[in-house]
Structure 1
Amino acid sequence: MSNAPARGMSLSAILLTALLLLLVGAGAAVWALGRYPQAAQFVGVAKPADAVPVTAPRAITPPAAAPGASVVSALPATEARVATLEERLARVENATARAEGSAGRADALLVAFAARRAIDRGVALGYLEPLLSERFGATNPKAVATIVTASRRPVRLDQLTADFAVLAPRLKAAPESASLWQNLRREMGNLVSIRRADQPSQRPVATYERASARLTAGQVDQALAEAMRLPGIGAAPRWVADARSYIAAHRALDEIESAALLSR
């Protein structure tokens, strides 16, 4: 019976001794880990000294735009595009206007030249008459009326020249109504003529020759002026009327040709 208590005491002693050893070992381990950091790092209870914590990069966000800033910044670019478009449109309109003006000017010149050709040939205007009225009736009504009237009774240059040659004897002679004294004075004046060297001769023959030369050159207005000095011009009223009609028609033609050149 004495052996049972002895075994119980020895077991308690063993447990107490083991507990003390554990406490001593734990204390020694804590002291060693605190004393030696490398040991703590080895067992994983501390982080390496050179380890740098890795953090996720932060996204950089631009500052928030003020309300309406995008609209304001877009205005200059929009205005520039609008100005460019307006400039291109103006160039197109100018080019179109020039093209239309050139076409209108060409049409007007064509009508004017065709009318002159008809007058020179001594033929009726025909279809050109309404075209003349349409093109030049509003701006040059008198010229159009003169051309239309002349075309209905055409006078050609060769006709004027031929008629003037036929009238030569009558144009150079004194009018039949002249008195004997007037005829005598004219004949005496033809014998002796005193004039300045730079003035043309007033003798009928010389005057007629100058008028004829003007006609041949197409200078009908100057030929008429010379013919009006002839003593027998009173016997040629029809020729004078034809010459004046020819002059008026060609002056009217010059007028509408000038208007055609200046038209738009």
Structure 2
Amino acid sequence: MTAPVSPSRLSWSARLLIGLTLLILGAAATVWALAHYQRAARFLGVTPSAPATIAAPQQILTTPAAATSDEADAAAVAARIAGLEARLSSVENAARRAEGSAGRTDALVVAFATRRAIDRGVSLGYLETLLVDRFGTQHPRAVATIVTVSRAPVRLDELTADYEKLGPALRGGGPQDSWWLNFRREMGSLVAIRRADVPSAKPNARYMRALSRLESGDVDNALAETMRLPGAPLADAWVANARRYVAAHRALDEIESAALLSGSGAER
């Protein structure tokens, strides 16, 4: 006959079974809850946060920063290029000014040396080549006049000395005048009525004015006074030399002005 089960042992087994059942039911409920409620899973640290939701904002934030950096680099490069271009332009302008100054200086040296040779009555020599090279293109007539006069130079002191020798003939009249015409001219020159501000028209006074202007270097006005003297036809050779002297100095003035004003005549 079987021994009867004690009530204490049955109650302990029932309690164990009930506990296991409750544990299984609790685990199942937890798994179901975690599968259906992501917020609860993230709160418990079972499911990690999705990386895509963080990576996208980072990409959006980094793209404008990279574009801003590229624009800044491009602006810096453009500023450097502009600075280099400005410096290069400044250097070119300085070089152009220095070249123009050097050319102008050379032209002035040639012009002044040529004038000195003409005034001294000597041939140009090597200056003739320099004169043609520097001024021949833009001032051909002036250069041709200077070169022609230099080959048969006329000096101011020679013109003055020859004029003094021609004094009696210039004041007395030409050989075609009769003695009666010369006598009337001399008698008429003894008394003359004129305004105080008008120069004397007597041959002697006119001759002295011409000689004074000639001695001061004013050959042009001295020549004009001489052509009004009664004996002017007797001074054809002197008149020709005076005209050559005046033409040469006008040509010298022309090339000196060209060199002083712009130096354009000095360019080849």
The TM-score bracket by the shorter chain reads: 0.7 to 0.9
Partner of 1:228: 227
Partner of 1:162: 161
1:251 CA displacement: 0.4
Q: Say if 2:267 is the partner of 1:263.
A: no
Give the number of the structure whose residues are more often helix, by fraction: 2
* Distance in 2, Cα, partners of 1:259 & 1:196: 43
1:176 CA displacement: 1.2
Cα distance per residue 1:161-208 (max 9 Å; x no partner): 111111111111121111344323312321221211111111111111
SS in structure 2 of the partner of residue 211 of structure 1: helix
Cα distance per residue 1:27-69 (max 9 Å; x no partner): xxxxxxxxxxxxxxxxxxxxxxxxxxxxxxx9x9675326982
1:131 CA displacement: 0.8
* Distance in 1, Cα, partners of 2:92 & 2:59: 47
Supply the AA of the counterpart residue of 2:71.
S
Partner of 2:212: 213
* Distance in 1, Cα, partners of 2:173 & 2:238: 17
Partner of 2:182: 183
* Distance in 1, Cα, partners of 2:132 & 2:186: 53
Within 5 Å, give how 1:129-144 maps onto structure 2: 129-144=128-143
Within 5 Å, give how 1:75-224 maps onto structure 2: 76-77=74-75, 78-224=77-223
Supply the AA of the counterpart residue of 1:263.
G
* Distance in 1, Cα, partners of 2:65 & 2:214: 90
Bigger drift between 89-98 and 188-197 goes to 188-197
Bigger drift between 200-209 and 77-86 goes to 77-86
* Distance in 2, Cα, partners of 1:208 & 1:227: 7
TM-score calculated relative to the size of structure 2: 0.73
* Distance in 2, Cα, partners of 1:254 & 1:68: 71
Partner of 1:33: none
Contact 2:211 2:222 in 1 (8 A): yes
SS in structure 2 of the partner of residue 138 of structure 1: coil
Supply the AA of the counterpart residue of 2:210.
A
SS in structure 2 of the partner of residue 191 of structure 1: coil
Structure 1 unpaired stretches of 5+:
1-57
Structure 2 unpaired stretches of 5+:
1-53
* Distance in 2, Cα, partners of 1:170 & 1:184: 15
Supply the AA of the counterpart residue of 1:127.
Y
* Distance in 2, Cα, partners of 1:129 & 1:204: 42
Partner of 1:69: 67
Bigger drift between 120-129 and 170-179 goes to 170-179
The list of structure 1 runs, each at least 4 consecutive aligned residues, that deviate by more than 3 angstroms after superposition, is 60-63
1:76 CA displacement: 4.9
Paired-residue identity, %:
61
Aligned-residue RMSD, C-alpha: 3.6
1:124 CA displacement: 0.4
Aligned length: 234
Larger radius of gyration: 1
SS in structure 2 of the partner of residue 106 of structure 1: helix
1:71 CA displacement: 7.8
* Distance in 2, Cα, partners of 1:114 & 1:88: 39
Contact 2:172 2:182 in 1 (8 A): no
Partner of 2:24: none
* Distance in 2, Cα, partners of 1:76 & 1:220: 73
Within 5 Å, give how 1:2-81 maps onto structure 2: 63=60, 64-65=62-63, 69=67, 73-74=71-72, 76-77=74-75, 78-81=77-80
Supply the AA of the counterpart residue of 2:231.
G
Contact 2:143 2:251 in 1 (8 A): yes
